[in-house]
Structure 1
Amino acid sequence: MSLTRTARLRKALGGERAIMAPGVVDAMYARLVAEAGFDAMYMTGAGTSATRLGYPDVGLLTMTEMVDNATRIADASDVPLIADADNGYGGPLNVRRAIQQYERGGIAAVHLEDQVLPKRCGHLAGKQLISAADMVAKVKAAVDARIDPDFVVIARTDALALHGRNAAFDRAEMYREAGADVIFVESPLAEDLPHIAPRFPGVPLLYNMATSGKTPFLTRSEIEKLGFKLIIYPNWLLLSACEAARKTLEVMKNEESIASVAPQVMSFRQFFDTARMAEVQELEARYGTPEESRTGY
């Protein structure tokens, strides 16, 4: 019997190698990550806000919108999904409901942060924190709310940028004691990194390879040597796609043709292969869709 997605993620967190989780914003990106053979993926809150609203990650999306997006991503792939759950969308009771909804949606893990409402991206200025005691209550509520014991609760603190290393580590230690499975110290600078793992021996740690450049762009091996077990790459795929789209638009505008771009993009067939056209065709044949009505290339 194959392991569930939650069990696979839990097992991987206990392995020797750090888990690489590319950031995804929708089902198609999930398909691409699965094709590439990664062991986990990450639903980015900033990317979700940008693609669904066209706005930055400043707390505009609701819990139901975030869960809906995560569920669609989880449905598209068997790769374990780690999802941004912001600050739990309220107090401990809100956190309980959020955890239950994410778990029912097939998500394998979430991270919760200790910011006030409305929150903002961890690499933006202007963050404000709730008290450590209030966050401890949220972590306890999250742990209590899960049904599957392998569902992973990640506790994030944004205290480092605001109050320094000791304050961030003290908070993270409290969150671990409250039951968090993984600790996420947000926005560490290069000089902070060697101090994190020694403070939390034996605790799985998350490394956020955000695009802001505040945290260094290290290799997987370098991050492993620093003691981290999970690496998320929030918006790299989305930024790559946006830059490619911008260049295509420039060509379309300036050349009034798409001919020069056509050889550089995914082919029509590759696109539908990734979208699982073969699976659709097999199902149509199984359920007796007339040959002339079947979907094809």
Structure 2
Amino acid sequence: MLYSQVTPSDKRRAFRAALDAAATTGEPLRLPGAFNPLSARLIQDKGFEGVYVSGAVLSADLGLPDIGLTTLTEVAGRSQQIARVTDLPALVDADTGFGEPMNVARTVQALEDAGVAGAHVEDQVNPKRCGHLDGKEVVGLDEAAKRVRAAADARRDPGFLIMARTDVRGTIPGDAGLRAAIDRAKALVDAGADAIFPEAMKDLSEFEAVASAVDVPVLANMTEFGKSELFTRRQLGDAGVRLIIYPVTLLRVAMGAAERALDEIAETGTQAGQVEGMQTRARLYELLDYAAYNTFDEGIFTYRP
């Protein structure tokens, strides 16, 4: 009932332990993107290992493109709403850290307070662009390293995971782009990153090259309509990947279904044809743990008219 009984510190410890175990099992942790707290409950119910809070999803939910328009307050607020309803660790997209290195430090502490297990900070120029679009620009390595050092120095709970995302692969064509991504990943680990998010890898061999070059967990972004093929968990595990995010999948599925339902209402005058595919009221109440709320009410409600 209400919120998770697992403390943020315990979630962080469990997250790191699971990442260590993934290196042995070869089964990467799967973190679907939650577009609201209820979808985070569903992700836990379906047996996934974590929840991802996507900057692209948060932007879209606000009716905005993913070009750095959201604020730290908006991201931390939604992250807290999601993290507190699930026992799973939540990893948050912190974009470029919302400013200069001091802003990155504040971002990390705000997200710690929000109860999430970790966050990634990227090396794009501010304002950023979606990682799978063309026309991205990255800051110099020195600036990227300063962001990571600021994040690592600012955290108060050593269990909070600092992940460095690099977008440099998408800014340099050919093998030179991969070499640049590997060199930058190594430097960001030296700056204090606990994990690496190499964005827009071309194929499995590129994921494997990055994973082989660093001694920290590597994340794969399996977003639809992007630069990377949609590889399976087994394929990515064999390539050395330890985390997989599916950042926009649930939002895209939900919005696709919503659009079809609205089209049907507009065309036929009723939603009757959509009912079979809907989540039932009983299933919604199960996810919300409605029965526990009723039991609580019955236990304290002493007045009868």
Query: Please, what TM-score do these two structures have when normalized by structure 2?
Result: 0.91
- 1:281 alignment partner in structure 2: 294
**Post-superposition offset of 1:140:** 0.9
Spell out the pairing of 1:1-297 with structure 2 (5 A cutoff): 4-15=10-21, 16=25, 17-52=27-62, 54-163=63-172, 164-190=177-203, 192-200=206-214, 202-288=215-301
Which string of whole-angstrom CA distances, capped at 9 and with x for unpartnered residues, describes residues 116-160 of structure 1? 111111111221111111111111111111111111010000000
In 1, Cα distance between equivalents of 2:161 and 2:208 = 25
Structure 1, residues 249-269: CA drift from partner, whole Å, max 9, x if none?
Answer: 111111111222112211122
Q: What SS is found at the alignment partner of 2:44?
A: helix
Query: What residue identity is the alignment partner of 1:276?
Result: D
User: 1:213-254 deviations in whole A, cap 9, x for unaligned?
Assistant: 411111111100000001001011111111111111111111
Shift of 1:111: 0.4
| Count of residue correspondences | 290
Single out whichever of 262-271 and 169-178 deviates more from structure 2: 262-271
Deviations 1:68-95 (A, max 9, x none): 1101001111111000000001111101
Cα deviation, residue 290, structure 1: 5.1
* Shift of residue 289, structure 1, vs aligned partner: 6.5
Q: Tell me the amino acid that sits aligned with residue 68 of structure 1.
A: G
d(CA) in 2 for partners of 1:195, 1:96: 30
**Structure 1's 291 and 27: CA in aligned 2 closer, same or farther, altered over 3 A?**
farther
Is the CA contact 2:52–2:90 (under 8 Å) kept in the aligned structure 1? yes
In 2, the alpha carbon distance for the partners of 1:269 and 1:256 equals 26
One-letter code aligned to 1:137: K
Give the aligned residue type for 2:298: A
Structure 2 residues without counterparts, runs of 5 or longer: 1-5
Moved more, 77-86 or 257-266: 257-266
Distance 1:111 1:244 in 2: 30
Change (3 A) 1:106 1:186: same
Deviation at 1:97, TM superposition (A): 0.6
Once residues 303 and 75 of structure 2 are traced to their aligned partners in structure 1, the CA distance between those partners, rounded to angstroms, is: 39
Aligned to 2:3: none
Share of identical aligned residues, percent? 36
- Give the structure-1-normalised TM-score: 0.93
Question: What letter corresponds to residue 10 of structure 2 in structure 1?
Answer: T
Letter in 1 for 2:37: A
Q: Secondary structure at the match of 2:182?
A: helix
Partner of 1:295: none
Distance of 2:295 and 2:104 partners within structure 1: 41
AA partner of residue 269 (structure 2): E
What do you get for the CA RMSD once the two structures are aligned? Answer: 1.7
